[in-house]
Amino acid sequence: MSMALLSSYTSFGIGGEADIVAIHDPEEAADALKDDCIILGRGTNVLASDRGSERKVIVNRLGTLTFDGEYVYAGSGVMLITLCAACAERCLGGIEWACGVPGSVGGAVLMNAGAYGGCIADSLVYADVLRGGSLVRLSREECRFTYRQSSIADGDFILGAMLRLKFSPQAEILSRMRALQYNRGKTQPKGRSAGSVYLKGDKPAGWYIEQAGLKGAREGGAEVSCKHANFIVNTGGATAKDVLKLMERIEAEVFKRFGVILKREIRLIGDF
Ligand SMILES: Cc1cc2nc3c(=O)[nH]c(=O)nc-3n(C[C@H](O)[C@H](O)[C@H](O)COP(=O)(O)OP(=O)(O)OC[C@H]3O[C@@H](n4cnc5c(N)ncnc54)[C@H](O)[C@@H]3O)c2cc1C
């Protein structure tokens, strides 16, 4: 047992105690998965309970990165920013959209992460997944990607992904990455968050939250960002209870005003 705080493993900086095991190779993953456990990448799309978790938490640090022409095999624990930088170095374009997404390849595949018109499904050739103790290779079609979703089930462990990118002039790749980073800096808050709280519906979720007058709304240390209403920021000392209370307030208010049910993008982990 190695008990630690989930707050050290989540971008919100929130979460109580759990037995946390970091895994660095597929064998360790297969072994750890024999127990019932929660899988965590970089923890940038989750809200972890203040009470922590009775279930073991696997923190994924599978870091392989191999290149063959336009093909890149990325271990699921590789951070997207590391992947983008390594691709740019080799003049491989098509993944620039991911340079400001703070998560891992595994989290990105599971959620079909995307931004600025691109998403992981655009480049994915196949994903290697540990399912019930066996390795399965899922083609892009088998992953059945839709907006921020895939068919990869709870309990499946994504080991890595083969991506196909495109040779492009390095100056263009770097310039696109810089422009996207600049845009993010202008439109998104810098504080501790889990990115967009809600999925986009017929309109951006932030539009509804802003129109409901909730920019700057607070519960304890959690605040609806004044810069981007679809972000909740931990202004210091926020608990999962604060964030959840704020989310419930947002959901109730948006439903009352517009009859719209906001769908959560962030995932709750641990014992709520
Ligand atoms: C400031 C900020 C900006 C963001 N911007 C964007 C954006 O532009 N676009 C976007 O799509 N997202 C964005 N996000 C959200 C998040 O970074 C992405 O969804 C990212 O892909 C999640 O990866 P992760 O490793 O942090 O996943 P985690 O948060 O650790 O996990 C998310 C889910 O994936 C599962 N999971 C993680 N790894 C694996 C694995 N190897 N196998 C199976 N399941 C796994 C977890 O169990 C959990 O259910 C942002 C977040 C922040 C904090």
- What is the per-residue pLDDT across 63-103, written as a single tens digit (0 to 9) for each? 999 999 999 999 999 999 999 999 999 999 999 999 999 99
* Same fold across 3-60 and 65-187: no
Domain boundaries, the chain: 3-60, 65-187, 205-269
- Is the pTM of the predicted complex or chain greater than 0.95? yes
Give Cα separations from 167 to 88, 146, 270 (angstroms).
9, 26, 42
CATH architecture of 65-187: 2-Layer Sandwich (3.30)
CATH architecture of 3-60: 2-Layer Sandwich (3.30)
User: Mean pLDDT, to the nearest integer, of 106-126?
Assistant: 97
Whose alpha carbon is nearest atom 12 of ligand 1? 113
CATH 1.10.274.10 fits 205-269, yes or no: no
Report CA dihedral (197, 202, 204, 207) to the nearest 10 degrees: -110
Residue among 24, 44, 47, 156 whose CB has most ligand 1 atoms within 8 A, to mutate: 44
Distance 29 CA to ligand 1 centre (A): 19
Q: 60 CB less than 6 Å from ligand 1?
A: yes
Q: 115 CB less than 6 Å from ligand 1?
A: yes
Distance 128 CA to ligand 1 centre (A): 18
User: Mean pLDDT, to the nearest integer, of 4-18?
Assistant: 98
**Active-site residue, 196 included:** yes
Distance CA 246, CA 223 (A): 8
User: At 74, is the secondary structure helix, strand, or coil?
Assistant: strand
CB atoms within 10 A of CB 208: 23
Give Cα separations from 43 to 8, 19, 60, 238, 256 (angstroms).
9, 15, 10, 16, 31
**pLDDT tier at 2, thresholds 50, 70, 90:** confident
The pLDDT score that the predictor gives to residue 154 is 84
How high does pLDDT run on average in the chain?
97
In this model, does residue 1 exceed pLDDT 80? no
The pLDDT score that the predictor gives to residue 28 is 93
Distance CA 125, CA 77 (A): 18
Is the CB of residue 62 less than 8 Å from the CB of residue 159?
A: yes
**Active-site residue, 265 included:** yes
